[in-house]
């Protein structure tokens, strides 16, 4: 069975601090996909990134960066120089990778980030 664990439930930081959101996953599949979604107070889940299990290259997008380590089954997300607009609940998710597209997503419980001015 697939499982995603986000051990941190809530983090509060001051603007401009860096913050790392941890994600650990379990799967028996050799090929899978990992995702991060953001859920701001408005409630709509916003897709941030997808990572394939066969591509361990880290990725940076502006102030966001992701560190995928297959050896520790982790897919951590770092926000550099956090801003108040980053305040949201962040979800890590996992899906099988089959031919023909996206399968169901298995989500972690989410981590609420509050960035204070």
Partner 1 sequence: DTGVSQDPRHKITKRGQNVTFRCDPISEHNRLYWYRQTLGQGPEFLTYFQNEAQLEKSRLLSDRFSAERPKGSFSTLEIQRTEQGDSAMYLCASSLSELQYEQYFGPGTRLTVT
> Which residues of the chain form contacts with partner 1 (CB under 8 A)?
4, 33, 35, 37, 42-47, 50, 91, 93, 95, 97, 100-110
Phi and psi torsions of 103, nearest 5°: -100, -175
Nearer to partner 1, 79 or 94 (CB): 94
Helix (H, G, I), strand (E, B) or coil at 58: coil
Minimum distance, C-beta of residue 68 to partner 1, in the bound complex (Å): 15
> 58 or 102, CB closer to partner 1?
102
Give the closest residue to 111 by CA, choosing from 76, 66, 59, 64: 76
Neighbours of 107 (CB within 10 A): 15
Task: Rank residues 80 and 114 by Cβ distance to partner 1 and give the closer one.
Answer: 114
């Amino acid at each position: 069975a697939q499982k995603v664990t986000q051990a941190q439930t809530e983090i509060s930081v001051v603007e401009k601090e860096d913050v790392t959101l941890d994600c650990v996953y379990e799967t028996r599949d050799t090929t899978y996909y990992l995702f991060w979604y953001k859920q701001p107070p408005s409630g709509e889940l916003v897709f941030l990134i997808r990572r394939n299990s066969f591509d361990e290259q880290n990725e940076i997008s502006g102030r966001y960066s992701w560190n995928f380590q297959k050896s520790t089954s982790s897919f951590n997300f770092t926000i550099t120089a956090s801003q108040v607009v980053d305040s949201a609940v962040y979800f890590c998710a996992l899906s099988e990778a089959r031919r023909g597209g996206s399968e169901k997503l298995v989500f972690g419980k989410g981590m609420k980030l509050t960035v204070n001015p």
